[in-house]
Amino acid sequence: MILDYIQWTANPIIYSGFVEIRWYGLFFAIGFGLGYYIVNRMFKHEGKPEGWVDTLLLYLIIATVIGSRLGHCLFYQWDYYSQNPIEILKVWEGGLASHGGTIGIILAMWLFSRRVTKENILWILDRICVPVALVGAMIRMGNLMNHELYGHVTDLPWAFCFITNVRGWMNGAEPIFSEPSHPTQIYESLTYLTLFIILSYMYWRRHAEQRQGLLLGVFFVGTFLSRIFVEMIKNALVFIGSGENLNMGQFLSIPFVIAGIWLIVRALRRPAMPIKYTDC
């Protein structure tokens, strides 16, 4: 008999020895590596100092890790982490919130703009949002490998049965599988990958960076509007209020969608700012 679901038995750990390597951390690192390459190409394209890229990478790594981790701990599982504060440091086990990461990156880019570029903060945000979409796709694949953040029960043929006792299973216990569920990690990963392709096209082919805030606005709307819809079929960690109509992920996404729409309208109403490219 052919099963009408996928029994997911991926091990979150790739290698366990002197140093433990997890898929989540590997995908995270690959995303940042690709992001470094993309931003480096952008800066060369626009004739910006080479040293900016290394400094930017440092700012982004620190801001993403701290912002995403604190966002997850504060917005989603504060009851647990307030009693187990040392667990906050275990980033490699998963548990990063895109909303917290976005806030952290914005704050870091404000500081980067003041200290390094001396440009309006939208200048750098327009450029880094392109690779950030790709990093988001990679992180969601890490969530898939961790058997976390999946969706509601479904009878669709691509439903996944995830292991619910991952830590116990990794220590020798028999796996306990969830009911066939939506692999929302894959849905989000494909959405972010599509957004990355769109933003790349806008930058390299349509010169959207000449309209300050346009790329960031599209990123905000594409990322967080899709998040609102995916959250409808995802097992939410926290709901807002006494009902189950709006969860924390959806609630936190609304301001970013509104900001994105405002940025798009603002950018399209203003004249384009010509840029002198060094490789044209």
Residues 3-21: tens digit of each pLDDT: 678 999 999 999 888 888 8
What token pair was written down for 231? 């959250």
Q: Please compute the mean of the pLDDT values over residues 117-133 and round it to a whole number.
A: 96
6: exposed, middle or buried (Cβ count in 10 Å: 0-12, 13-18, 19+): middle
Q: Are 88 and 81 in contact (CB under 8 A)?
A: yes
User: What count of other Cβ atoms lies within 10 Å of the Cβ of residue 221?
Assistant: 19
How far, in Å, CA of 209 to CA of 215, rounded? 7
Q: Which of 55, 71, 189 is nearest to 109 (CA)?
A: 55
Here the tokens at position 51 are 């040293």
* pTM check: above 0.85: yes
- Output the pLDDT for position 9: 95
pLDDT above 60: residue 165: yes
Say if residue 144's pLDDT is above 90.
Answer: yes
Quote the DSSP letter at residue 13.
Answer: E
Shortest CA distance to 76 belongs to which of 245, 237, 259, 235? 237
**Cβ within 8 Å of residue 77, ≥6 positions away:** 95, 237
Q: Are strands 6-7 and 160-161 parallel, antiparallel or unpaired?
A: parallel
Residues 185-235: pLDDT tens digits? 999 999 999 999 999 999 999 999 999 999 999 999 999 999 999 999 988
CA dist., res. 31 & res. 134, Å (int) = 7
Amino acid of residue 153: V
Q: Is-contact 259 97, C-beta < 8 A?
A: no
Please give the pLDDT value at position 275. 87
Q: What are phi and psi of 146, to 5 degrees?
A: -85, 0
Burial class of 45 by CB neighbour count within 10 A (0 to 12, 13 to 18, 19+) = middle
Which stretches does DSSP call E strand in the chain?
6-7, 13-15, 21-22, 160-161
Residue 34 tokens, joined:
């690709």
Q: What is the mean pLDDT of residues 147-170?
A: 93
CB-CB contact of 185 with 143 (8 Å): yes
